[in-house]
Structure 1
Amino acid sequence: MTQSNKTIIGVLESVDLPDLGLFGITTRIDTGAQTSALHVDHIYLHERGGKIDFEFHPDFHDVEQTLKCSAQLHDSRWIKSSNGERERRYVIKTTAKLDSKTWEIELTLTNRASMNHLMLLGREAMQAGFLVDPSESFIATA
């Protein structure tokens, strides 16, 4: 569905991060969050070259299954989480794909183990042209 060249999405959608080799991530669409976040473990920042390694768990229920990822560090910044606590997070830039749209997003790396979804897509990432229907899920990626 589109309206004024904008893709209508629900509060949950499936997002691919092809540069990281991650596909079909059930993502919470959150217009209240400025930045996007990805649940990762075992973050290691290389001293030289600004490369960052981390592990992604594609299944919340199987913590033994991990995918090793690497990216170039883009930034490090303070982020206020939904519970009001400030946390210093590493930020990477990567390609995101949702429905037929592919664009670059900034993604903070953090522990989202207490959350229900492995990824959160915030307002900055949605500027690529999305409208959110809060009454639906998986509109664009059914």
Structure 2
Amino acid sequence: MSGQNPPTIIGWRERIGLPDLGLAGIPAKIDTGARTSSLHAEVLDEFRRDRQRFVRFAVNWGGARHVCEAVHVDIRGITSSMGEQQQRFVIKTPLSIGKYTFRAEISLADRSQMQFPMLIGRTALRRRFVVDSGHSWLQSDENADKGPGRR
């Protein structure tokens, strides 16, 4: 790997942003066991604009309901954490972790029963980050979380 920068170390959970969707400070679980990243969202509508497919969805974050639109890349069969095959909308949008921003594919899922509204899978992490499972919030704002598990 000569000539390349070493991967950045991130914790098992980080605060992330989705700048094109107007969302910031979302607590996300970093999950190398999951291939695809996912966001808790309620799909409202799919439509076409200028011959491109879009999806409109709602994200409840920061005490407010945010209605977002993004180019709809695909509908894929994704296996949930419970082992169930689900058909999910997949979008591609910039994702920020710390000072790094890159485009990532994100499936829209019902994560209401999960502790974290966002999950970052290994495809988004590949060749960018190494996960230190013993630490949290390594690339997040200092005020991210002062609660249990903060190291």
Give the AA of the match of 1:56. V
Partner of 2:23: 22
Partner of 2:73: 74
Structure 1 unaligned regions, length at least 5: none
Q: CA RMSD in A?
A: 1.4
Partner of 2:109: 110
**Among 51, 59, 73, the residue aligned to 2:54:** 51
Kindly state the Cα deviation for residue 5 of structure 1 after the two structures are TM-superposed: 2.0
Note if contact 2:59-2:67 (Cα within 8 Å) is conserved in structure 1: yes
In 2, distance between residues paired with 1:79 and 1:123? 14
Q: Percent identity over the alignment? A: 39
Note if contact 1:55-1:68 (Cα within 8 Å) is conserved in structure 2: yes
Note if contact 2:59-2:68 (Cα within 8 Å) is conserved in structure 1: yes
In 1, distance between residues paired with 2:28 and 2:68? 18
Give the AA of the match of 2:32. T
In 2, distance between residues paired with 1:112 and 1:68? 17
Note if contact 1:103-1:128 (Cα within 8 Å) is conserved in structure 2: no
Bigger drift between 74-83 and 125-134 goes to: 125-134
Note if contact 2:41-2:109 (Cα within 8 Å) is conserved in structure 1: yes
Partner of 1:39: 40
In 2, distance between residues paired with 1:96 and 1:42? 19
Partner of 2:149: none
* 1:6 equivalenced with 2:3 (yes/no): no
Bigger drift between 105-114 and 127-136 goes to: 127-136
Q: How does 1:114-133 map to 2 (within 5 A)?
A: 114-133=113-132
In 1, distance between residues paired with 2:54 and 2:122? 26
Partner of 2:82: 83
Note if contact 1:33-1:122 (Cα within 8 Å) is conserved in structure 2: yes
CA deviation map 1:11-33 (0-9, x unaligned) = 11010100111111100000000
Partner of 2:147: none
Bigger drift between 43-52 and 101-110 goes to: 43-52
Higher-Rg structure is 2
Give the AA of the match of 1:92. I
Runs of 4+, deviation exceeding 6 Å:
none
Q: TM-score, normalised by structure 2?
A: 0.85
In 1, distance between residues paired with 2:58 and 2:127? 27
Q: TM-score, normalised by structure 1?
A: 0.90
